A = this chain, B = another copy of it.
Amino acid sequence: MAERVFSATAVACSNIAFIKYWGNRQDRLRLPANGSISMNLAGLETRTQVRFVPGAARDRLVIDGQEVEGEGLRRVTAFLDIVRAWAGCEWRAEVISRNTFPSGVGIASSASAFAALALAASRALGLSLSERELSRLARRGSGSACRSVPGGFVEWQMGSGDSDSFAFSLAPADHWALADCIALISTQHKEVGSTEGHRLAWSSPLQEARVADAPRRLEQCRRAILARDFQALAQVAELDSDLMHAVMMTSAPPLLYWQPATVAVMHQVRAWRRQGWPVFYTIDAGPNVHVICPQEIHAQVQAGLRAVEGVRDVLLAFPGGAARWVESGDEDG
């Protein structure tokens, strides 16, 4: 055990999955129905300072300058309880978190948030966790957060239980100069969050078939990444995204995350590919479309996406590194 400094700050990237995580085989431990593969997103980051405070009655959570109560705070407290139990410390904590990406545009922050929190909280309480242990810990806060712990291109192996359900790096961030152009699409709908969505997965008549076919897709995706085979990655990633949305839209109640502009971008991306552009789409639990391409054509892809009706902005991210500990700077709260 390292020195307890009771305060630490960590930064972690968001990630975009090419083989998606949807549905748990065990909810409490967030043991996934299938393995998944993702790419960390540099620049779409959460920076989190954790400070354990002797005598404080409860945890405090501040995200982007806003005090968070209710379900958001309860989830962080439940997560910190795991770290406190491991470290043998009962002090409550103050968690101050900032995202470098705009809030309320449907870019999920739970992956980067729980990866950064896992690292900062464990550091602050003097736990020296290996990358694998850290990934397992982050998984308990948000499944996909385990993939934001290692760097670059990452696989989360489903494992046989808590002990071996963690993520590891398939290749570092500089392995492949890909870009993620994220088409932001408005929606009026209040969306069902991922935690609730994962529970609904099994109500779809299609989830079992999607899960049964996952080993084949994981192998195709792994090979495509290691060989830098863009067309192979495009094919398996679009199929995998469509399979997840097929499950979502046929669950009870149905989750139709796509908006009209989502479908417009999907068609546009395929039209570009027919014209020879190396480009593919992948979509998470929301209307935004992640359009992946080699970095050298990101400007033309971004411009093309901005021209699609209903796309209100396009973010850009390159492959990102591992979650990292940083010197505490000025933090607000």
* CB proximity to B under 8 Å, residues A217-276: 238-239, 242-243, 246-247, 249-250, 252, 254, 256, 258-264, 266-267, 270
Distance in Å: Cβ of A210 to nearest Cβ of chain B: 7
Bound complex: CA A247 to CA B250 (Å): 11
The residue in A212, A252, A259, A260 that gathers the most chain B C-beta atoms within 10 A of its C-beta is: A260
Asked whether, in the complex, the Cβ of A250 is within 8 Å of the Cβ of B243, the reply is yes
Can you name 6 A-B pairs with beta carbons within 8 Å? A189-B267, A205-B209, A206-B243, A206-B246, A259-B263, A262-B263
> Which positions in A face B, CB cutoff 8 Å?
189, 205-206, 208-210, 212-213, 238-239, 242-243, 246-247, 249-250, 252, 254, 256, 258-264, 266-267, 270, 309-310
Distance in Å: Cβ of A333 to nearest Cβ of chain B: 39
Asked whether, in the complex, the Cβ of B254 is within 8 Å of the Cβ of A238, the reply is yes
Bound complex: CA A261 to CA B263 (Å): 9
Asked whether, in the complex, the Cβ of A239 is within 8 Å of the Cβ of B260, the reply is no
Asked whether, in the complex, the Cβ of A263 is within 8 Å of the Cβ of B258, the reply is yes
Chain B residues, Cβ within 8 Å of A246: 206, 246-247, 249-250
Chain B residues, Cβ within 8 Å of A263: 256, 258-260, 262-263
Chain B residues, Cβ within 8 Å of A309: 260
Bound complex: CA A263 to CA B238 (Å): 19
Bound complex: CA A260 to CA B264 (Å): 6
Asked whether, in the complex, the Cβ of B261 is within 8 Å of the Cβ of A267, the reply is no
